[in-house]
C-alpha cells in the first residue's frame, strides 16, 4: 500500500468517524416513536445533548424523551406536553435513525452563558434544567510541525479543574494513536514524549473535546442526563526529537 493511498484512506477515516460514532451511540437504542400522552409522565427519560465544534457557526441543542429508560421508545410530546429552550417552544422532528427528537441550532457567539430547558408534562408539571455553555479555544497557534517532546497546549474556556478528551491520530493504520480523557488543571493539556510512542511520524490530527455529562438535576422518577460537548481540531506534522537529529 503506497503512502498516497494511505493518506487518502485516512482522510476518509477522519470524515466518517463522527458519523460512525454517532451511529454507534445509537446502538441498542430504540428509534420507534410513541406519544407522551400514552405513558406515565414519571416513566419518561430525558436525553439532553448540546454539542458544537470550532469552525461551525451553530451549536446544536438536541433533546429526546424516551419511555422507560435511555434505550426506550422515543416520544413525541403530545396531549399538552411540550419542551422549551429559554422560553422558545421547540417543534418535533424525526428520522429513521434517531426516532423523534427536538432540536434547535443557535449561533455559538450568542449562546455563551446560562440557559434553561423546561419540559412540561401532560399534567402541566414542569421540569426545569439549567446549564451553562462556554466554548473552548486554543490560546496559541500550533506550528505546522512539532518535535517528539512533551507537547503542551493551553486552552481558554475551562474551569480550574476540568475534563478534556484528547484524540491524536496519524496516517498509519497499525498505530494505536491516543484516545483518552484527561483531567486538566489551569487549562493545560499535556501529551508527554512517552505518550507519542503510540503515534508515527508524519501528518497527525489533534482533537481536543471538552466533555461534560451528568444526570439531570430536575428529572422524573426515571431520570435522564445532560451532555455538553465542544471540540476543536488541528493538524500538524510530527517529527523526531531534536536530540535524535
**Residue 29 pLDDT > 90, yes or no?**
no
Region 57-66: what's the mean pLDDT? 97
pLDDT at residue 25 in the model:
46
Place of cell 454507534: 24
**Residue 26 pLDDT > 80, yes or no?**
no
pLDDT at residue 243 in the model:
64
At 241, the pLDDT band (50, 70, 90 cuts) reads confident
- Under a CB-based contact definition with an 8 Å cutoff, are residues 86 and 45 in contact? no
pLDDT at residue 6 in the model:
39
pLDDT at residue 242 in the model:
66
Region 83-106: what's the mean pLDDT? 97
Domains of the chain: 3-135+212-230 (no CATH), 137-209+234-238 (2.60.40)
* Residue in 213, 150, 161, 149 with CA at minimum distance from that of residue 187: 161
* Residue in 116, 142, 151, 112 with CA at minimum distance from that of residue 230: 112
For the chain, the residue count is: 245
At 175, the pLDDT band (50, 70, 90 cuts) reads confident
pLDDT at residue 171 in the model:
85
pLDDT at residue 49 in the model:
98
Region 34-48: what's the mean pLDDT? 96
* Residue in 193, 197, 230, 195 with CA at minimum distance from that of residue 211: 230
* Segment (H or E) for 244: none
Amino acid at each position: 500500500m503506497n503512502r498516497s493511498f494511505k493518506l487518502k484512506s485516512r482522510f476518509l477515516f477522519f470524515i466518517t468517524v463522527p458519523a460512525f460514532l454517532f451511529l454507534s451511540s445509537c446502538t441498542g437504542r430504540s428509534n420507534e416513536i410513541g406519544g407522551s400522552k400514552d405513558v406515565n409522565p414519571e416513566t419518561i427519560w430525558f436525553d439532553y445533548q448540546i454539542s458544537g465544534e470550532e469552525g461551525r457557526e451553530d451549536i446544536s441543542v438536541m433533546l429526546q424523551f424516551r419511555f422507560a429508560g435511555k434505550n426506550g421508545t422515543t416520544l413525541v410530546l403530545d396531549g399538552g406536553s411540550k419542551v422549551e429552550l429559554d422560553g422558545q417552544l421547540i417543534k418535533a422532528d424525526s428520522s429513521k435513525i434517531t426516532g423523534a427528537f427536538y432540536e434547535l441550532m443557535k449561533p455559538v457567539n450568542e449562546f455563551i452563558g446560562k440557559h434553561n430547558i423546561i419540559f412540561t408534562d401532560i399534567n402541566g408539571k414542569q421540569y426545569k434544567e439549567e446549564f451553562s455553555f462556554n466554548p473552548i479555544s486554543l490560546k496559541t497557534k500550533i506550528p505546522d510541525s512539532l518535535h517528539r517532546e512533551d507537547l503542551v497546549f493551553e486552552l481558554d474556556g475551562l474551569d480550574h479543574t476540568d475534563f478534556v478528551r484528547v484524540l491524536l491520530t496519524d496516517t498509519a493504520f497499525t498505530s494505536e494513536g491516543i484516545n483518552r480523557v484527561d483531567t486538566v488543571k489551569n487549562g493545560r493539556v499535556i501529551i508527554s514524549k512517552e505518550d507519542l510512542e503510540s503515534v508515527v511520524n508524519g501528518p497527525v490530527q489533534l482533537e481536543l473535546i471538552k466533555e461534560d455529562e451528568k444526570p439531570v438535576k430536575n428529572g422524573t422518577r426515571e431520570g435522564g442526563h445532560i451532555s455538553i460537548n465542544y471540540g476543536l481540531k488541528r493538524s500538524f506534522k510530527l517529527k523526531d526529537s531534536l536530540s535524535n537529529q
